[in-house]
Chain A
Amino acid sequence: MNGSPTHYVMLFKAVSYALKAEKILKSEAIPHKLIPVPKQISSDCGICLRFESNLRSSIERSIFDKVEFEEIQQLSN
């Protein structure tokens, strides 16, 4: 592997928002992964959407006006 890609995570207010956003990404075939919120971000038992950095704008476009999200953070590898 020539260096793993940079990932971002999109954080939501509640699990249901994350699931709703995931359904949209799935229907648009945008690669993503539903993962537990990394410990360094929050100790809550939450889930978030992880995606590669180059997909950020298309994901934001896709869920714009459909699902509210809290923030996007870069994941340290």
Chain B
Amino acid sequence: MSEMKIVNATGLACPHPVVLAKEAIEKNEKVKVIVDNETALENVTRMGTKMGCDVSKEARAGGVFEITLTRKPGATMPDVPVSCVASSPSAGPFVVVCSEDKMGRGNDELGAVLIRAFLHTLAEQAEKPDVMIFYNTGVKLTVQGAETLDDLKTLAAAGVEILVCGTCLNYFEVKDKLGVGVVSNMYDIVETLSRAGRLLSP
């Protein structure tokens, strides 16, 4: 058993824990890094993996994590730049929220044009959202006769999940005119917003 170097990085914010962990693993076969926040946990883990180490993690009481980095036999130490990402972009779905039938505030006629242009362009993007949520006047974009319906259908056909607020459809008395997506509720909406990796609102 080789000796393990212990790096206490509690109380430190990124990029500090990553810098300390990197210095330690460059000089030692095995390093235990103690951090007390998720961002540090993710970034130290990512650095360790990139450096070609075996990485194991253990959660301790009080939001503390112990990350053990072990150099693989014969592994070269690539010079990995210290990176500090708030959270992994793949952590949750890419969600687009349309809370209005317009884009931006100030002029409604212009806002209506902009939201059409936005959805048209979104439908042409290679990277499409995982989920789109429509509430308040945003639901008017999803009903029959809406100028935006074709683009939303294109997005739905490409696998984008479209959630439309049922309370809102009801309020505007257009529930029977829904042209795309599924009637959803506040439970699904809150759950989806909460686990979103990226949230975009036009």
Report if A19 contacts B (CB, 8 A): yes
Number of contacting residues on A, CB 8 A? 7
Number of contacting residues on B, CB 8 A? 9
- List of B residues within 8 angstroms of A36 by Cβ: 117, 120-121
Report if A35 contacts B (CB, 8 A): yes
- List of A residues within 8 angstroms of B120 by Cβ: 33, 35-36
CB contacts under 8 Å to A, within B71-117, are 109-110, 113, 116-117
0/1 per residue, A21-46, Cβ < 8 Å to B?
A: 00000000000011110000000000
Docked pose: A15 CA to B117 CA in angstroms: 12
- List of B residues within 8 angstroms of A33 by Cβ: 120, 147, 150
Show 19 residue pairs from A and B whose CB-CB distance is below 8 angstroms, ordered by the A residue: A15-B110, A15-B113, A19-B109, A19-B113, A33-B120, A33-B147, A33-B150, A34-B113, A34-B116, A34-B117, A34-B147, A35-B116, A35-B117, A35-B120, A36-B117, A36-B120, A36-B121, A47-B113, A47-B117
Footprint of B on A, CB under 8 Å?
15, 19, 33-36, 47
